[in-house]
Amino acid sequence: RQLEVEGQLATITDREHGEVLQPGALIRFSDTPAQLGADAPRLNEHGDELRERAKSLSKDAGPVVAGAPSTLPLAGVTIMELGTFYAAPYGSTILTDLGARVIKVEALDGEPMRFQQAFPEAGAMKVLQGKESLALDLGSPDAKDVLAQIAQGVDIVMCSFRAGAADRLGVGFNDLIKMNPNIMYLDCPGFGVLPPYGARPAFAPTIGAGSGIAMRNVGSQIPETMPASHDELRNYGGKLAAGGTMSAAQPDGLAAFAVGTALAMAAYLQSVGVGGQQMLTTMLLSCGHALGETMVEFNGRWEPSTTDDEILGFSALERLYETADGWVTLSITTDAEWTQLATAMNEFADLGSDIRFANASLRAEHDGALTQALAGAFAKRSANEWEQDMLKAGVPLLEVNPGAAEHIIIGELGIEHGWVTRVESPVVGEYPRLSPFQQFSRSLTVALPGNTKGQHTRSVLTKAGFTEEQILGFAEQGLVQIG
């Protein structure tokens, strides 16, 4: 219902499937809206046209600019961030790696993420890295005047407040566009900016439930009827909560990348002369795009694949299996890979000569029996032994590392591949953080640490044109906090 009200659904007429209902454009622009309507091209549909066009293109390479690159892609772009927690703010964090200046406006009590871990500041170090912290009493009537003056010098405003909150504070699009006609203003709340859910709070578990991610991940585990006992209710509730926030499909992360994309597009559109726009993307819509297999609807649509009751996989051939000392993950998708598997497993399970597994259709029909046969075989050896032998045989199988992903990334493998950079925090000293997601052949990137509350209050206000006397006055009246 919320996506419909926000105008975030689209109907496309497909030549094969007829009317197709699907999520609309990921980002809405007030003046340069996305153009939707054409269906997906068929294989090689435009091949002749593109080949003919290519004949007229010059094959001569353009001039090569001498010297090493010396600029960051988003150097000179300033973003003012009005938001808390992770889903939207991490979107602007990504852009700090590309040189964007991000002014983090946080309450005098501090960004809530700062207190999410037992050790102070640890919970916010990632989402605040590269940003300048301005500690401001947003509830004060004077706050809007301070932000309005800062807004005159920024390019983009990112606001993840619930519907109506920014307007009540005097920092909505209609307020700030008067101060800066070229500003790009991105609303990026959880549900949207309109009723029925626009004013509701949104967190990863609530969006995981509302978008369908939780049921998509663990739906086979949840009964359609109300559980009979309190213990069963708690059990299923825990599974749904885990399903809505698991790292493989996390609403906060999905939304953050959508926000980062929107901010990058805002910077580009402003650079080509079409600034002064209001934009919208939401956590709910971001998750809708991620759930394309279930969110794209048309007559005759096939049923989306689902996991087994143990959430170990989709079928016997795409599944986790327990070994003598751990787990392996198997992913067989072609007949050739099946043949290689059957040959490699011959000593432990007679798969090749079993008529039930003679072709893909029969294997699907007897999936339970195939799962049982493979499970019995894999239990006879260690995970490492299976990985070594199967990879040699060309079978896509790997040993499962039981540790958290961050332990792998921060370890020797991450260092070897450049996934990790060490930076200096004003709180904990040197610590590892992820390297920038993007690397460019010529432009630079930068990896910066997190900040402390109000660390940049004085410098942000000074750059916005406030005098030292004004800044000290703000601090004395409790309007700002100087770190």
pLDDT tens digits along 372-425: 999 999 999 999 999 999 999 999 999 999 888 888 888 888 889 999 999 999
Q: Tell me what pLDDT residue 118 has.
A: 86
pTM of the model: 0.90
Percent of the chain clearing pLDDT 90 (strictly above) = 78
pLDDT tens digits along 338-360: 999 999 999 999 999 999 999 99
| CA nearest to 188, candidates 289, 292, 284, 74 | 284
pLDDT tens digits along 202-217: 999 899 888 988 888 7
**pLDDT tier, 233 (very low <50, low <70, confident <90, very high otherwise):** confident
List of domains in the chain? 78-291+445-481 (3.40.50.10540), 313-399 (3.30.1540.10)
pLDDT tens digits along 422-444: 999 988 899 999 999 999 988 99
Q: What is the mean pLDDT of residues 29-57?
A: 94
Q: What is the mean pLDDT of residues 292-300?
A: 93
Q: Tell me what pLDDT residue 360 has.
A: 96
The residue ranking higher by pLDDT, 467 or 243, is: 467
Q: Which residue has the tokens 């590269």?
A: 130
pLDDT tens digits along 73-86: 999 999 999 999 99
Percent of the chain clearing pLDDT 70 (strictly above) = 96
Q: Which residue has the tokens 């359609």?
A: 224
